[in-house]
Homo-oligomer: A and B are copies of this chain.
Protein backbone atom coordinates (compact mmCIF):
# COMPACT_ATOMS: atom_id res chain seq x y z
CA UNK A 1 0.00 0.00 0.00
CA UNK A 2 2.85 2.41 0.77
CA UNK A 3 4.03 1.85 -2.80
CA UNK A 4 0.63 2.83 -4.16
CA UNK A 5 0.88 6.29 -2.61
CA UNK A 6 3.58 7.21 -5.09
CA UNK A 7 2.17 5.02 -7.86
CA UNK A 8 0.65 6.08 -11.15
CA UNK A 9 -3.09 5.91 -11.70
CA UNK A 10 -2.48 2.91 -13.97
CA UNK A 11 -0.71 1.01 -11.20
CA UNK A 12 -3.57 1.51 -8.77
CA UNK A 13 -6.01 0.28 -11.43
CA UNK A 14 -3.88 -2.81 -12.02
CA UNK A 15 -3.78 -3.53 -8.29
CA UNK A 16 -7.58 -3.38 -8.30
CA UNK A 17 -7.86 -5.56 -11.39
CA UNK A 18 -5.67 -8.24 -9.81
CA UNK A 19 -7.67 -8.12 -6.59
CA UNK A 20 -4.71 -6.78 -4.60
CA UNK A 21 -6.48 -3.54 -3.71
CA UNK A 22 -10.04 -3.66 -2.36
CA UNK A 23 -9.79 -0.78 0.14
CA UNK A 24 -10.27 2.99 -0.07
CA UNK A 25 -8.18 5.15 -2.39
CA UNK A 26 -7.58 8.49 -0.59
CA UNK A 27 -3.86 9.22 -0.58
CA UNK A 28 -3.08 6.73 -3.37
CA UNK A 29 -1.38 7.79 -6.62
CA UNK A 30 -1.06 11.32 -5.29
CA UNK A 31 -1.43 13.91 -8.03
CA UNK A 32 -3.61 11.68 -10.21
CA UNK A 33 -7.27 12.56 -10.59
CA UNK A 34 -9.64 10.24 -8.71
CA UNK A 35 -13.22 10.04 -9.89
CA UNK A 36 -16.73 9.02 -8.96
CA UNK A 37 -18.41 6.36 -11.10
CA UNK A 38 -22.08 5.98 -12.02
CA UNK A 39 -23.25 3.26 -14.42
CA UNK A 40 -26.83 3.16 -15.71
CA UNK A 41 -28.62 1.30 -18.53
CA UNK A 42 -28.85 3.13 -21.85
CA UNK A 43 -32.57 3.64 -21.30
CA UNK A 44 -31.77 6.08 -18.49
CA UNK A 45 -28.49 7.42 -19.83
CA UNK A 46 -29.94 10.48 -21.57
CA UNK A 47 -31.74 11.63 -18.45
CA UNK A 48 -28.70 11.01 -16.26
CA UNK A 49 -26.40 12.82 -18.69
CA UNK A 50 -28.87 15.69 -18.75
CA UNK A 51 -28.96 15.70 -14.94
CA UNK A 52 -25.17 16.06 -14.90
CA UNK A 53 -25.24 18.71 -17.60
CA UNK A 54 -27.86 20.69 -15.64
CA UNK A 55 -25.97 20.35 -12.35
CA UNK A 56 -22.30 20.77 -13.25
CA UNK A 57 -21.17 21.84 -9.77
CA UNK A 58 -22.05 18.55 -8.05
CA UNK A 59 -21.69 16.46 -11.26
CA UNK A 60 -18.63 17.60 -13.25
CA UNK A 61 -18.36 15.05 -16.06
CA UNK A 62 -14.87 13.88 -16.93
CA UNK A 63 -15.86 11.08 -19.33
CA UNK A 64 -18.94 9.23 -20.57
CA UNK A 65 -18.71 5.92 -22.40
CA UNK A 66 -20.68 4.59 -25.33
CA UNK A 67 -23.25 1.91 -24.34
CA UNK A 68 -21.54 -1.38 -23.50
CA UNK A 69 -18.02 0.05 -23.64
CA UNK A 70 -16.24 -0.40 -20.29
CA UNK A 71 -13.27 1.77 -21.31
CA UNK A 72 -13.33 5.51 -20.54
CA UNK A 73 -11.02 6.42 -23.40
CA UNK A 74 -10.61 10.08 -22.55
CA UNK A 75 -9.43 9.77 -18.98
CA UNK A 76 -7.89 6.28 -18.83
CA UNK A 77 -7.30 4.58 -22.18
CA UNK A 78 -6.84 0.82 -21.79
CA UNK A 79 -8.69 0.75 -18.48
CA UNK A 80 -11.66 -1.48 -17.69
CA UNK A 81 -14.36 -0.03 -15.46
CA UNK A 82 -15.60 -3.57 -14.66
CA UNK A 83 -12.46 -4.45 -12.70
CA UNK A 84 -10.31 -1.38 -12.13
CA UNK A 85 -11.99 0.00 -9.01
CA UNK A 86 -11.37 -1.47 -5.54
CA UNK A 87 -15.07 -1.88 -4.78
CA UNK A 88 -18.50 -1.16 -6.25
CA UNK A 89 -22.08 -0.76 -5.13
CA UNK A 90 -24.91 -2.47 -6.99
CA UNK A 91 -28.34 -0.84 -6.84
CA UNK A 92 -31.70 -2.37 -7.76
CA UNK A 93 -34.81 -0.19 -7.64
CA UNK A 94 -32.91 2.35 -5.53
CA UNK A 95 -31.84 -0.25 -2.95
CA UNK A 96 -28.23 -1.20 -2.27
CA UNK A 97 -28.04 -4.96 -2.91
CA UNK A 98 -24.33 -5.79 -3.13
CA UNK A 99 -20.77 -4.42 -2.75
CA UNK A 100 -18.64 -6.54 -5.10
CA UNK A 101 -14.99 -5.91 -5.99
CA UNK A 102 -15.55 -6.77 -9.67
CA UNK A 103 -18.63 -6.27 -11.85
CA UNK A 104 -17.66 -8.41 -14.86
CA UNK A 105 -20.48 -10.86 -14.16
CA UNK A 106 -23.02 -8.01 -14.04
CA UNK A 107 -21.89 -6.31 -17.24
CA UNK A 108 -24.43 -5.69 -20.01
CA UNK A 109 -24.20 -4.32 -23.53
CA UNK A 110 -26.49 -1.44 -22.66
CA UNK A 111 -24.56 0.00 -19.72
CA UNK A 112 -23.31 3.59 -19.96
CA UNK A 113 -20.61 4.76 -17.54
CA UNK A 114 -20.22 8.28 -16.17
CA UNK A 115 -16.84 9.30 -14.72
CA UNK A 116 -17.37 12.32 -12.48
CA UNK A 117 -14.82 14.66 -10.85
CA UNK A 118 -14.12 14.30 -7.14
CA UNK A 119 -13.19 16.57 -4.24
CA UNK A 120 -9.81 14.85 -3.74
CA UNK A 121 -8.48 17.01 -6.58
CA UNK A 122 -9.12 20.30 -4.86
CA UNK A 123 -8.25 18.90 -1.43
CA UNK A 124 -4.75 18.21 -2.70
CA UNK A 125 -4.58 21.80 -3.91
CA UNK A 126 -5.89 23.09 -0.54
CA UNK A 127 -3.24 21.09 1.31
CA UNK A 128 -0.54 22.49 -0.96
CA UNK A 129 -1.65 25.97 0.07
CA UNK A 130 -1.41 24.82 3.73
CA UNK A 131 -5.14 25.21 4.20
CA UNK A 132 -6.78 22.91 6.75
CA UNK A 133 -8.65 19.82 5.54
CA UNK A 134 -10.04 18.76 8.88
CA UNK A 135 -11.35 15.28 8.04
CA UNK A 136 -7.92 14.33 6.69
CA UNK A 137 -6.29 15.70 9.87
CA UNK A 138 -8.75 13.69 11.96
CA UNK A 139 -8.53 10.59 9.77
CA UNK A 140 -12.27 10.35 9.15
CA UNK A 141 -14.62 10.64 6.16
CA UNK A 142 -15.59 14.10 5.00
CA UNK A 143 -18.91 15.25 6.52
CA UNK A 144 -21.69 15.57 3.94
CA UNK A 145 -25.15 17.12 4.24
CA UNK A 146 -28.37 17.24 2.25
CA UNK A 147 -29.31 20.87 1.64
CA UNK A 148 -32.62 22.56 0.94
CA UNK A 149 -31.39 23.52 -2.52
CA UNK A 150 -32.99 21.34 -5.18
CA UNK A 151 -30.94 20.16 -8.11
CA UNK A 152 -32.35 20.91 -11.53
CA UNK A 153 -34.28 17.74 -12.37
CA UNK A 154 -33.90 15.67 -15.53
CA UNK A 155 -36.50 12.98 -16.16
CA UNK A 156 -36.60 10.73 -13.09
CA UNK A 157 -33.40 12.18 -11.67
CA UNK A 158 -33.98 14.82 -9.02
CA UNK A 159 -33.12 15.56 -5.44
CA UNK A 160 -31.34 17.98 -3.12
CA UNK A 161 -27.85 19.31 -3.62
CA UNK A 162 -25.57 17.38 -1.26
CA UNK A 163 -22.59 19.31 0.05
CA UNK A 164 -19.31 18.43 1.74
CA UNK A 165 -17.95 20.63 4.53
CA UNK A 166 -14.47 21.74 5.61
CA UNK A 167 -14.11 24.23 8.50
CA UNK A 168 -11.92 27.30 7.83
CA UNK A 169 -11.30 30.82 9.07
CA UNK A 170 -12.79 33.55 6.86
CA UNK A 171 -9.30 34.36 5.61
CA UNK A 172 -8.60 30.72 4.73
CA UNK A 173 -11.99 30.50 3.02
CA UNK A 174 -11.01 33.39 0.77
CA UNK A 175 -7.83 31.56 -0.27
CA UNK A 176 -9.83 28.33 -0.74
CA UNK A 177 -12.17 30.22 -3.06
CA UNK A 178 -9.22 31.25 -5.22
CA UNK A 179 -7.66 27.77 -5.20
CA UNK A 180 -10.89 25.97 -6.04
CA UNK A 181 -11.80 28.39 -8.83
CA UNK A 182 -9.04 26.63 -10.78
CA UNK A 183 -10.99 23.36 -10.70
CA UNK A 184 -14.49 23.73 -12.17
CA UNK A 185 -14.30 20.04 -13.12
CA UNK A 186 -13.70 19.07 -9.48
CA UNK A 187 -16.74 20.83 -7.95
CA UNK A 188 -15.23 24.33 -8.25
CA UNK A 189 -15.61 27.04 -5.62
CA UNK A 190 -17.53 26.69 -2.34
CA UNK A 191 -21.26 27.24 -2.66
CA UNK A 192 -21.73 28.60 0.89
CA UNK A 193 -19.78 29.85 3.90
CA UNK A 194 -21.13 30.18 7.43
CA UNK A 195 -24.65 29.65 8.78
CA UNK A 196 -25.61 26.04 7.96
CA UNK A 197 -29.34 26.76 8.38
CA UNK A 198 -29.20 29.16 5.42
CA UNK A 199 -28.90 26.10 3.18
CA UNK A 200 -31.22 23.91 5.20
CA UNK A 201 -28.73 22.09 7.42
CA UNK A 202 -30.32 21.71 10.86
CA UNK A 203 -27.39 20.28 12.81
CA UNK A 204 -23.81 20.63 11.62
CA UNK A 205 -22.73 18.00 14.18
CA UNK A 206 -24.92 15.37 12.51
CA UNK A 207 -23.89 14.95 8.87
CA UNK A 208 -26.18 12.91 6.61
CA UNK A 209 -23.18 11.03 5.21
CA UNK A 210 -19.60 10.65 6.47
CA UNK A 211 -18.37 11.76 9.87
CA UNK A 212 -18.63 14.96 11.94
CA UNK A 213 -15.44 17.03 12.25
CA UNK A 214 -14.30 19.62 14.78
CA UNK A 215 -15.04 23.29 14.02
CA UNK A 216 -12.52 25.36 15.96
CA UNK A 217 -12.80 28.87 17.41
CA UNK A 218 -12.63 31.44 14.64
CA UNK A 219 -13.67 28.91 12.01
CA UNK A 220 -16.93 28.59 10.12
CA UNK A 221 -18.14 25.74 7.95
CA UNK A 222 -17.33 26.03 4.24
CA UNK A 223 -19.55 24.03 1.88
CA UNK A 224 -18.80 22.55 -1.53
CA UNK A 225 -21.11 20.80 -4.01
CA UNK A 226 -20.48 17.08 -3.51
CA UNK A 227 -20.24 14.04 -5.77
CA UNK A 228 -22.71 12.19 -3.55
CA UNK A 229 -25.42 14.37 -5.14
CA UNK A 230 -25.73 12.21 -8.29
CA UNK A 231 -25.77 9.05 -6.16
CA UNK A 232 -28.60 10.51 -4.08
CA UNK A 233 -30.50 11.37 -7.29
CA UNK A 234 -29.87 7.85 -8.54
CA UNK A 235 -31.30 6.34 -5.36
CA UNK A 236 -34.35 8.57 -5.51
CA UNK A 237 -34.97 7.72 -9.18
CA UNK A 238 -35.25 4.03 -8.16
CA UNK A 239 -34.27 2.81 -11.62
CA UNK A 240 -34.22 -0.99 -11.85
CA UNK A 241 -30.43 -1.33 -12.11
CA UNK A 242 -27.37 0.83 -11.51
CA UNK A 243 -23.79 0.46 -10.35
CA UNK A 244 -21.60 3.04 -8.60
CA UNK A 245 -18.20 3.05 -6.91
CA UNK A 246 -18.25 2.28 -3.20
CA UNK A 247 -17.77 5.61 -1.35
CA UNK A 248 -14.08 6.38 -0.91
CA UNK A 249 -13.18 3.59 -3.34
CA UNK A 250 -12.64 5.74 -6.40
CA UNK A 251 -11.55 5.23 -9.99
CA UNK A 252 -7.97 6.34 -10.64
CA UNK A 253 -7.61 8.09 -14.00
CA UNK A 254 -4.50 8.93 -16.01
CA UNK A 255 -5.26 12.65 -15.62
CA UNK A 256 -3.10 14.76 -13.32
CA UNK A 257 -4.79 17.18 -10.94
CA UNK A 258 -3.39 20.07 -13.01
CA UNK A 259 -5.19 18.70 -16.09
CA UNK A 260 -8.50 19.66 -14.47
CA UNK A 261 -7.56 23.32 -14.26
CA UNK A 262 -9.45 25.68 -16.51
CA UNK A 263 -12.33 24.97 -18.84
Asked if residues B66 and A61 are in contact (CB atoms below 8 Å), the reply is no
Question: A116 to B154, alpha carbons, bound, how many Å?
Answer: 18
- For residue A147, give the distance in angstroms from its CB to the closest CB of chain B: 18
Chain B residues with Cβ below 8 Å from A57 are: 263
How often does this chain occur in the complex, in copies?
2
Chain B residues with Cβ below 8 Å from A184 are: 263
Question: A54 to B65, alpha carbons, bound, how many Å?
Answer: 11
**Chain B, residue nearest A44 (CB):** B46
**Chain B, residue nearest A42 (CB):** B46
**Extra 20 A-B pairs, beta carbons < 8 Å, given A54-B74, A66-B154:** A42-B46, A45-B46, A46-B46, A46-B49, A46-B112, A49-B49, A49-B50, A49-B53, A50-B64, A52-B53, A53-B53, A53-B61, A53-B64, A54-B64, A56-B263, A57-B263, A66-B155, A74-B152, A184-B263, A188-B263
Question: A263 to B187, alpha carbons, bound, how many Å?
Answer: 11
Chain B residues with Cβ below 8 Å from A50 are: 49, 64
Could you jot down 15 A-B contacts, CB within 8 Å? A42-B46, A45-B46, A46-B46, A46-B49, A46-B112, A49-B50, A49-B53, A50-B64, A52-B53, A53-B61, A54-B74, A56-B263, A57-B263, A66-B154, A184-B263
Question: A52 to B112, alpha carbons, bound, how many Å?
Answer: 17
Mark out the residues of chain A between 124 and 162 whose CB falls within 8 Å of any chain B CB in the assembled complex.
Answer: 152, 154-155
- For residue A56, give the distance in angstroms from its CB to the closest CB of chain B: 7
Question: A74 to B50, alpha carbons, bound, how many Å?
Answer: 13
Task: Render A179-192 as a binary contact track against B, CB cut-off 8 A, 1 for contact.
Answer: 00000100010000
Q: What 8 A-B pairs have minimum CB-CB distances, sorted nearest first?
A: A46-B46, A49-B49, A45-B46, A50-B64, A184-B263, A53-B61, A53-B53, A188-B263
**Chain B, residue nearest A112 (CB):** B46
- For residue A75, give the distance in angstroms from its CB to the closest CB of chain B: 12
Question: A137 to B263, alpha carbons, bound, how many Å?
Answer: 31
Chain B residues with Cβ below 8 Å from A46 are: 42, 45-46, 49, 112
Chain B residues with Cβ below 8 Å from A53 are: 49, 52-53, 61, 64
Mark out the residues of chain A between 241 and 263 whose CB falls within 8 Å of any chain B CB in the assembled complex.
Answer: 263
Question: A45 to B154, alpha carbons, bound, how many Å?
Answer: 13
- For residue A135, give the distance in angstroms from its CB to the closest CB of chain B: 26
Task: Render A36-79 as a binary contact track against B, CB cut-off 8 A, 1 for contact.
Answer: 00000010011001101110110001001010000000100000
**Chain B, residue nearest A45 (CB):** B46
**Chain B, residue nearest A184 (CB):** B263
Question: A112 to B155, alpha carbons, bound, how many Å?
Answer: 12
